[in-house]
Chain A
């Protein structure tokens, strides 16, 4: 007890700070607790019943719309397909994280089996699965789909751009720099607008692109630029001696880069890549502004439902909590990966 008291009230300044903090807690925490939990209503038919039952948050609204928040308008009898796809992603993702041997196979499965099987499961139309058009995809499902596709696409593109920027050929370097700086210099939302209004004009006449696909394309390119800079940092962190030793052993320059330098660079860039993944997952909410119904879009829409009109605080708090835990999971996976690869320990 002694050290704690000294830490809290040791000096005059510290004591004042502690008292200030305690006063702030006393002011904010009890009402917050009452609203969130003790006065909250968990079961009600509609908003009026909620207000009658208690003065706190109306969590009955979230319960009533729970499936909508997770699947959007995805037809109810087909939801098992979304569940199965997610299960596949989680299973293979965990496998890739924890595998002791054959990690390469797990990763290969992650970038081949998951998108193919996931795409077939979600879109349907083959193997006797009922087709589900993308405007019906929604809720958190859409956030996960966009993050996964953008991440899987940005990785190889980013590696290519990072090598391009370090190339000794000036023209290739300039092209890579222009590409990277363009995407990094403009806001994501303008890029989403660009995908919405400009992309169709740049494609051959008669080719129509689905709204979701437009968002996926621009999100991938946008993230590839950030990925390129992170991986370039990793490439710079690999000691020169590694490449020199590999060359001295008689490896072809391409082999040197792909087999010796790149794996070490990727290991060094894990923290940066995890940051990109967290930012990407949070930024998938922006697609709600360009007319897709991700979790944010569905929350916006549900508040206009006459039965639950205007329950904004509950809806957005719920969205914030979901994103908080999702980001926590990504960060945890990232730090696990860092420990696995001993980032910052061995050189």
Chain B
């Protein structure tokens, strides 16, 4: 057969099959909706929600519209994701260093933790932390107290919260400077050291200075409740701890594989050129390992954003819990709600992976 005709025939068949399936689905959908006396209409997003969101970073009360709830819960999802990514990266790095330390005790412990955590479901871990650890904490009056101003009890973790104009300015300035420096590092060429070594301490230093200038609002027990400070609800704690630990073992394995993937000759050559062990690690091995690290690390971070939906199991008010549960139950608009929820995750995932791919491509091109 003529390859051109064949190509058209196959592709035409595929198009027709997909079109038929789509028409069948949309026909079924419209009949089903017509029977229920409904139609696809996103107008309900503007109507009054009338429910409370127990934990939020942005304004919300029950008079706000449904559409705003997507924003509130989206911020909650991003907050949980960010905290999990930080915790998992730090824990993962620690586990990887333990594994690579050459100390049999540390390496064995790390290995045991990794195997144990990664072979049990993440849902079991999250719910375990929530139900078996956080819900059996003492009540308000017998809170576990650290330094007189951090309280842990069954209602959550109470932290002192900083505030003040100077504090806000210093934090903003530090973050802006660090991000700008991270992007323009090579072009600035200030110090001949990798940014991974220089920038995190600057960030910490900025936070410490800001902390000294801030006025701290300490939580105080008044009657039956704490006044002042910030409350981290147990749902968020459980999600961050459970998922953070679960993700950290995968990150540990990724880091280990990346460092072990660098040919021994590289560090041997660096040592024979007179570099110290630290220099060879930070200037020769780590920059190369970073290159292998980025693609799998990206997919882990994307998994974290997706896995925060497990917060629905412990009623953490994230996108799925608020939208696919509360809003769906109240409004009954299954098609619209699920389209929005799926759309949000799809867009976030595709955008993040596109950005990380671009960064990865730049890293790969440099110096090869």
Contacts and interface: CB of A to CB of B under 8 A. Distances in A.
B124 interface: yes
Contact of A285 (B32, B104, B124): B124
A149 to B, nearest CB: 18
B350 A185 contact: yes
B106 interface: yes
A172 B310 CA distance: 34
Interface stretch (A17-25, A85-93, A264-272): A17-25
A219 interface: no
A319 B122 CA distance: 12
A144 B324 CA distance: 27
A200 B125 CA distance: 32
Contacts of A189: 309-310, 312, 320
A23 B77 CA distance: 37
B310 A278 contact: no
Contact of B109 (A21, A283, A296, A313): A21
Contacts of A21: 103, 105-106, 109
A205 B338 CA distance: 20
Contacts of A24: 109
Contacts of B122: 282
A7 interface: yes
Contacts of A300: 127
A190 B341 contact: yes
A187 B320 contact: yes
Interface stretch (A36-44, A47-55, A241-249, A323-331): A323-331
Contacts of B136: 312
Contacts of B209: none
Interface in B288-338: 306-307, 309-310, 312-313, 320, 324, 328, 334-335, 338
Interface stretch (B11-19, B177-185, B229-237, B357-365): B11-19
Interface stretch (B23-31, B137-145, B151-159, B186-194): B23-31
A169 B10 contact: yes
B11 A169 contact: yes
Nearest to B341: A190
A198 B10 contact: no
A201 B32 contact: yes
A342 to B, nearest CB: 22
A286 interface: yes
B121 A282 contact: yes
Nearest to B127: A316
Contact of A323 (B106, B119, B312, B342): B119
B131 interface: yes
* Residue of B28, B120, B128, B342 contacting most chain A CB atoms (<10 Å): B120
A11 to B, nearest CB: 10
Which secondary structure dominates chain A's binding surface?
A: helix
A203 interface: yes
In this complex, the interface size class of chain B, counting residues with CB under 8 Å from chain A, is 35 or more
B202 interface: no
B121 A283 contact: yes
Nearest to A22: B105
Interface residues of A, number: 55
A163 interface: no
A312 B350 contact: no
Contacts of A288: 123, 313
B101 interface: yes
Contact of B120 (A8, A188, A282): A282
B334 A197 contact: yes
A313 B125 CA distance: 11
A210 interface: no
A201 B345 contact: no
B7 interface: yes
A198 B116 contact: no
A320 B335 contact: no
Given A21-B109, A198-B335, A323-B121, A186 B320 contact: no
Nearest to A202: B25
B196 interface: no
B345 A186 contact: yes
Given A181-B350, A312-B135, A187 B345 contact: yes
Nearest to A204: B28
B346 interface: yes
Nearest to B135: A312
Contacts of A193: 320, 324, 338, 341
B124 A323 contact: yes
Interface string A167-180: 01111100100000
* Residue of A190, A194, A312 contacting most chain B CB atoms (<10 Å): A190
Contact of A190 (B116, B132, B324, B350): B324
Contacts of A328: 119
Contact of B102 (A7, A172, A185, A289): A7
Nearest to A311: B132
Contacts of A187: 306-307, 309, 320, 345
B86 to A, nearest CB: 20
B28 A316 contact: no
B57 interface: no
Contacts of A185: 345-346, 349-350
A14 interface: yes
A84 to B, nearest CB: 27
Interface in A317-347: 317, 319-320, 323-324, 327-328, 331
Contacts of B355: none
Given A201-B334, A202-B29, A312 B128 contact: yes
Contacts of B175: none
A8 B124 contact: no
* Residue of A7, A8, A312, A323 contacting most chain B CB atoms (<10 Å): A312
Given A190-B341, A324-B116, 15 more contacts: A17-B105, A21-B105, A190-B320, A194-B342, A201-B28, A201-B335, A203-B28, A285-B123, A286-B123, A289-B310, A316-B127, A320-B121, A327-B119, A327-B120, A328-B119
8 contacts: A185-B345, A185-B349, A187-B306, A190-B309, A190-B324, A201-B32, A323-B124, A327-B119
Across the A-B interface, give the 4 residue pairs with the lowest CB-CB distance, nearest first: A187-B306, A282-B121, A327-B119, A313-B132
